[in-house]
A and B are shown apart, each in its own frame.
Chain A
């Protein structure tokens, strides 16, 4: 089976190589048959890579420990769910999986565009296939998943216990689906630049791919945070780790892109900027993979020791040269008449939104790579840790919140101060009122006060947008309120889907603010029957608990959670001892309510004295982060559904095509 997998990857390299050659030459020589052959090669590559993935899974499931990858990341006792996710537990496998996701997207794009976007497709296929060839080179020659061992171990080393978690099983696929999906608008952008067909087709066609990738990436990031929260046992969900930052950076630029294409759609402005943004997003996602896979961050020197670091750096360099070169070459065609009717307009507020989103991406990137710069310039290793990012990102986030509260109110083209004031009155008043109420209730944390009131300002704006729109429709059509609301959102799902996403993001920010500004913690060493206080709760250690399964043995403490003397819950934090011999891992116990999470870790157990060492956190509002994530996903789905405008636009496009055909 290993030979079969190796063969599939080699053949895949050949078919992907052929896809590049055939599509590119087919495009240059206007040969339809070559282009078609290139597209078929894309499907063939997808099939071969899928077979390679299948082979590796088969080897993992049949416990073939003669294969290095299987022996390193799986063992006999590993539950079958995690045998599936063992595919992306190590470097070679995760690169293979990345490749598989890319090839799947490429195959979908080919299938969807058999008749559409024909002039762009050869270059789209070339671009996607060049990227596929790069990853195929990696899995064939650098990070090979099918290497066999000369000495076959009796059992594998097993998966890192911390990765044995449902969230961790789906976090990488979500992240990759998001990351890699952003390659599709990039490929269409490159095709538009190469062919000179620079109308808005490239981003209209890929709009759904962009939104899908955007929210799947967001979901991946949130799942990663959730995993860190329930698994790592420090009471938090985000540590500004380089690996986390690498996923956030392209997400921020993709967010900027989603907003600024709206200006291009309406005003035909910012065409160079939008091209730059999507190119930047793609390059940053490759940079992110490079950062996480090459070990460059931990030290400049580990970079040269890693096999794939220089390959990634080379690929990144070539990508920068080609895409920036193409962009400069097409600058004359991308010139557009930039006109602004007023400084106070939606257009200019979007420019600032883009500035802050790209500025945030830059700040995170800058902090992430600054240790490398310091080491290279001064020869001194330094750390740029969470305090740096928290301090830098808070003002940027406040700026973004302010914009998302005001942006939707400011009219396109020109907003008269009078009308703006009229519209902003209620949302702004609500925000200020919220600040006053929170202050009166005893909240003295400046950051939290500003954050909460800005979030409420944004939500109030959003609610008012729904309200004004519904009221206008009710007046115009005489529909009942609910009917008017539905036909309002049905006619412009993108706009209202976007508003729902805004609300989701606000909930996430409320959760982050609450849990970082008002976190409480306590540590205690307890004997049976003793208790300790955490916020308004008393926690009483009742008994030691243990259970056993083929994979691990659990040892924990049972605690009664008392709120004002009344028992409200029982929690059992503990530790897992793995039979495959890995280090024990903490099993955290959480009581989650909308108001707060009670988070318990058992960090030690002394069997002689019968005492447990416990650490507890009280994290207010943390559940709202995950709820906000759900709202964000809902809003994104809604925005992707076809609406009346899409249908009308498509009909218009068909009509135009028919007209131009008739006149030519």
Chain B
């Protein structure tokens, strides 16, 4: 039997998890994002100075690419077309993040899959531990009497008393 507060907690956790899973689907922030910056952010600079996207890199190579992107966009190419042009010239390495398809989808899914698996494990374990904890929990009368409390309980009670003393 699950106490009701416990079921409520699990529901609350599930709601939280669902909310957390929704967050990545919120579109990337709007502040100053135009197609130009979007394309710049999707491409990596290959100047070798640091691990930066075209958007962040301030080297000469990046400046040239920015101008080229602007020219391509002005010609009416879509951002996907511009990125595709760069990928066909420089290989997949120029993408700043793996594509969300095929093999590369694993890159995106794995971290969240691992966390979800861990969360399920924690829920399963805590339920088992809790069943044990509830079974072992002595009634308040027994404890107040003190006579039937096991040494372990007494130790816990002592510790609680000590900690309460410490925090107060």
Stretch at the interface among A63-71, A76-84, A191-199, A227-235: A227-235
**Given A241-B51, A381-B93, are A355 and B122 also a contact pair (CB < 8 Å)?**
yes
Is the Cβ of A340 less than 8 Å from the Cβ of B29? no
How distant is the Cα of A517 from the Cα of B49 in the complex, in angstroms?
A: 24
Chain B residues near A388: list those with CB within 8 A: 96-98, 107-108
Interface contact A382-B104, CB-CB below 8 Å: yes
Nearest CB of B to A509, in Å: 15
**Given A395-B24, A517-B29, A603-B58; A386-B52 close (CB under 8 Å):** yes
Give bound CA distance, A277 to B3, whole Å: 32
Q: Which residue of A lies closest to B119 (CB)?
A: A355
State whether the Cβ of B72 lies closer than 8 Å to any Cβ in chain A.
no
**Segment from A101-109, A321-329, A440-448 that makes contact with B:** A440-448
Interface residues of chain B: helix, strand, loop or mixed (majority): helix
In the complex formed, the residue of A with least CB distance to B91 is: A381
- A window 138-157: CB within 8 A of B: none
Which of B32, B103, B111, B136 has a CB less than 8 Å from the CB of A359?
B111
A472 vs B130: C-alpha distance in the bound complex, in angstroms? Answer: 31
Closest residue on chain B to residue A378 by CB atoms: B103
A341 close to chain B: CB less than 8 A: yes
Q: A241-B51, A388-B98 are in contact. Are A343 and B32 (CB under 8 A)?
A: no
How far, in whole Å, are A242 and B91 apart by their CA atoms in the complex? 21
Q: Across the interface, do B26 and A447 meet the contact criterion of CB distance under 8 Å?
A: yes
Contact of B29 (CB < 8 Å), options: A233, A341, A381, A446: A446
Interface code B24-56, partner A: CB below 8 Å = 1, 0 otherwise?
101011111000000001101000011111001
User: With a CB–CB cut-off of 8 A, which chain B residues contact A358?
Assistant: 118
Q: Give chain A residues whose Cβ lies under 8 Å from the Cβ of B8.
A: 417
Instruction: Given A339-B136, A399-B20, A601-B58, answer yes or no on A355-B118 (Cβ-Cβ < 8 Å).
Output: yes
Judge if A271 is at the interface, Cβ distance under 8 Å.
no
* Complex: chain B residue closest to A363, CB-CB: B111
Q: A348 on the interface (CB 8 Å rule)? A: yes
With a CB–CB cut-off of 8 A, which chain A residues contact B168? 472-473, 476
Q: Within the complex, what minimum Cβ distance (angstroms) separates B22 from chain A?
A: 9
Residues of B within 8 A of A374 (CB): 98, 103-104, 107
A492 to chain B, nearest CB (A): 6
Interface flag for A606 (CB, 8 Å): no
> A520 to B16, alpha carbons, bound, how many Å?
33
Q: How many whole Å from A352's CB to the nearest CB in chain B?
A: 7
Interface set, chain A 338-394, CB cutoff 8 A to B:
338-344, 348, 351-352, 355-356, 358-359, 362-363, 366-367, 370, 374, 377-378, 380-388, 391-392, 394
Given known contacts A355-B115, A385-B51, A603-B60, what 9 new A-B pairs fall within 8 Å (CB)?
A340-B126, A340-B130, A342-B3, A342-B130, A352-B122, A370-B98, A391-B24, A402-B16, A488-B167
- The 6 A-B residue pairs with the shortest CB-CB distance, nearest first, are A363-B111, A385-B96, A388-B97, A359-B115, A340-B129, A339-B133
